[in-house]
Amino acid sequence: MKVLVIGAGGREHALAWKLAASPRVARVYVAPGNAGTATEPRCENVAIAADDIAGLRDFALRERIDLTIVGPEAPLVLGVVDLFQAAGLACFGPSRACARLEGSKAFTKAFLSRHGIPTAAYGRFTRADFDPAFVRAQRLPVVIKADGLAAGKGVVIAATHEEALATIESMFGGAFGAAGDTIVVEEFLPGEEASFIVMVDGTHILPLATSQDHKRLADGDRGPNTGGMGAYSPAPVVTDALHARIMREVIEPTVRGLAAEGTPYTGFLYAGIMIHPDGTPNVLEFNCRFGDPETQPILMRLDSDLTLLVEAALGGRLDAVRAEWDARVAVGVVLAASGYPESPTRGDVITGLETAARLPGKIFHAGTQRVGADVVTSGGRVLCAVGLGATAALAQTQAYALVDAVHYAGMQCRRDIGYRAIERERTG
Ligand code: AMP
Residue nearest to atom 19 of ligand 1 (CA): 188
Residue nearest to atom 8 of ligand 1 (CA): 155
Distance 284 CA to ligand 1 centre (A): 6
| Per-residue pLDDT, 225 | 86
- Whether the CA torsion 308, 309, 315, 321 is positive or negative: it is positive
Cα(189)–Cα(60) distance, integer angstroms: 44
Cα(120)–Cα(130) distance, integer angstroms: 19
| Per-residue pLDDT, 149 | 86
Distance 274 CA to ligand 1 centre (A): 8
Cα(180)–Cα(247) distance, integer angstroms: 31
Distance 189 CA to ligand 1 centre (A): 8
Distance 273 CA to ligand 1 centre (A): 9
- Tell which one of 157, 216, 289 to mutate to probe ligand 1, the residue whose CB is within 8 A of the most ligand atoms: 157
| Per-residue pLDDT, 31 | 98
Distance 83 CA to ligand 1 centre (A): 32
3-state secondary structure at position 335: strand
Cα(155)–Cα(152) distance, integer angstroms: 7
Which ligand 1 atom minimizes the distance to the CA of 105? 3
Distance 314 CA to ligand 1 centre (A): 31
Helix (H) or strand (E) holding 14: helix 10-20
Nearest to 10, CA basis, from 343, 292, 313: 292
Task: Say which residues have a Cβ less than 8 Å from residue 171's Cβ, sequence separation at least 6.
Answer: 144, 146, 154, 180, 183
Cα(312)–Cα(202) distance, integer angstroms: 11
Find the residues whose C-beta lies inside 6 A of ligand 1. Answer: 120, 143, 145, 155, 157, 186, 188-189, 193, 215, 225, 272, 274, 284-285
pLDDT tens digits, residue range 175-202? 898 899 999 999 999 998 888 999 999 9
Pairing of strands 205-207, 192-201: antiparallel
3-state secondary structure at position 268: strand
In the chain, the N- to C-terminal Cα span, in Å, equals 46
- How many helices and strands, by DSSP H and E, does the chain display? 16, 23
3-state secondary structure at position 302: strand
| Per-residue pLDDT, 70 | 98
Query: pLDDT 10s digit of each residue in the chain, 428 long?
Result: 999 999 999 999 999 999 999 999 999 999 999 999 999 999 999 999 999 999 999 999 999 999 999 999 999 999 999 999 999 999 999 999 999 999 899 999 999 999 999 999 999 999 999 999 999 999 999 999 999 988 767 889 999 999 999 999 999 998 898 899 999 999 999 998 888 999 999 999 999 999 999 999 999 999 988 989 999 999 998 999 999 999 999 999 999 999 999 999 999 999 999 999 999 999 999 999 999 999 999 999 999 999 999 999 999 999 999 999 999 999 999 999 999 999 999 999 999 999 999 999 999 999 999 999 999 999 999 999 999 999 999 999 999 999 999 999 999 999 999 999 999 999 97
- Tell which one of 213, 285, 286 to mutate to probe ligand 1, the residue whose CB is within 8 A of the most ligand atoms: 285
Distance 121 CA to ligand 1 centre (A): 13
Task: Say which residues have a Cβ less than 8 Å from residue 139's Cβ, sequence separation at least 6.
Answer: 187, 188
- Tell which one of 143, 144, 211, 270 to mutate to probe ligand 1, the residue whose CB is within 8 A of the most ligand atoms: 143
| Per-residue pLDDT, 193 | 87
Residue nearest to atom 14 of ligand 1 (CA): 284
Residue nearest to atom 9 of ligand 1 (CA): 284
